Amino acid sequence: MNARLIAHVLLAAAVLGAAAPATPPAKPAPAPKTAAATATPAAGKPPAPQGQALPGTPVDLAGREQVDASVPSKYRDEAASAQVEGAKLQQEDFAVWVASNALVQSGLRAPGTATGWLATPQDALARTWKVSFTAKNGEHTVVYADIDVDLTKPPPKVQMAARGKGRELSADERILVRDRDIVSAHKEWLRCADDYNYSASIRQGKKGRETVIRALPARHDDKLYLLGGFHEFVTPEKGGKMKHFQQTNTCLELTLPPHGTGFVVSHLRSNTPTLFHVFANLSYERPVYVKIGSRTWKVDGGRITLLDKNSVKSLKTEAPPAH
């Protein structure tokens, strides 16, 4: 995609070092010579599984519902939800990454065709997770491994239970696997990666329980930052039309210039940055500036703030190379 098309459909630019935040991040990154992650994993991170880019570190969900004073009152609920759900998605992504690493190292084989996983938080702050890996043999789906992941403090603690020929799915697991696989098989939504990861959960909606399937483009090259192709699908448990939220109109695979520190993107589909902007910020450990209409928002450390005009003018940007 050439740079002009990116700028026309979805503005995307790298933020240069001069615009780095005055307050250093909680976990400072080394000055990058390239956009690649450091060769040595950060403390508490196991070695990356082959083919998987190193994800961001676990975060603390405590206080994520608290919104910065710069956010207008009419947008505070949206911002709070994005901060909480984006941070929880980061926790889930890291827990699944750790569990997948443990599964690969165990050498356990699926009794049939491996079809993915279900990840469920085991506490309110999403510090502990149960990751259940699923497989399909004919029309029958089972869980062939349950892996408990504790992210309370580094390094992560892992406990694996192999299920032999597989255990039966619970009632909720059957619902989640059904809707996850429906989304996965559907070919008409914008895909920005060869592989996708799926977050599947059940929540209480206005009209009863509903499933929430979030589709995340898998990142295999740590020199590329994926900022397009994120989706959310919500389906009433009792049946009905699936609601689809598509984050972007086009795909963006971006690299950072030598002095780049973050990204600026334009956004058309909500009034505030979304949970996927928060997730990208936490996963890539880079600030994301989101232009929505006349406003410019900053997402950093998983927190959303609205920038004033002077802060916006101070941003120095550079169009990333086309891919």
Give the pLDDT confidence of 97-127 residue by residue, as tens digits. 999 999 999 999 999 999 999 999 999 999 9
Residue 258 domain flag: yes
Give the pLDDT confidence of 53-92 residue by residue, as tens digits. 778 999 999 999 999 999 999 999 999 999 999 999 999 9
Residue 159 domain flag: no
Q: What is the pLDDT of residue 171?
A: 97
Residue 195 domain flag: yes
Residue 209 domain flag: yes
Three-state SS string over the chain comes to CCHHHHHHHCCEEEEEHHHCCCCCCCCCCCCCCCCCCCCCCCCCCCCCCCCCCCCCCCCCCCCCCCCCCCCCHHHHHHHHHHHHHHHHHHHHHHHHHHHHHHHHHHCCCCCCEEEEEEEEECCCCCCEEEEEEEEEECCEEEEEEEEEEECCCCCCEEEEEEEEEEECCCHHHHHHHHHHHHHHHCCCCCCCCCCEEEEEEEEEECCEEEEEEEEEECCCCCCCEECCCCEEEEEECCCCCCEEEECCCCCCEECCCCCEEEEEEECCCCCCCCHHHHHHHHHHCCCEEEEECCEEEEEECCEEEECCHHHHHHCCEECCCCC
Please name which of 249, 256, 305, 315 lies closest in space to residue 278, comparing C-alpha atoms.
305
For the chain, the domain total comes to 1
Residue 182 domain flag: yes
Q: What is the pLDDT of residue 34?
A: 24
The boundaries of the domain holding residue 96 are 3-31+51-106+171-318
> Taking 90 as the threshold, does the pLDDT of residue 41 lie above it?
no
b/e per residue 40-52 (b: at least 16 CB within 10 A) = eeeeebeeebeee
Instruction: Find the Cα–Cα–Cα–Cα dihedral 25, 31, 34, 40, rounded to 10°.
Output: -80
Residue range 195-224: mean pLDDT, rounded = 95
Residue 141 domain flag: no
Residue 100 domain flag: yes
Q: What is the pLDDT of residue 52?
A: 63
Residue 122 domain flag: no
Give the pLDDT confidence of 225-263 residue by residue, as tens digits. 999 999 999 999 988 899 999 999 999 888 887 778 899
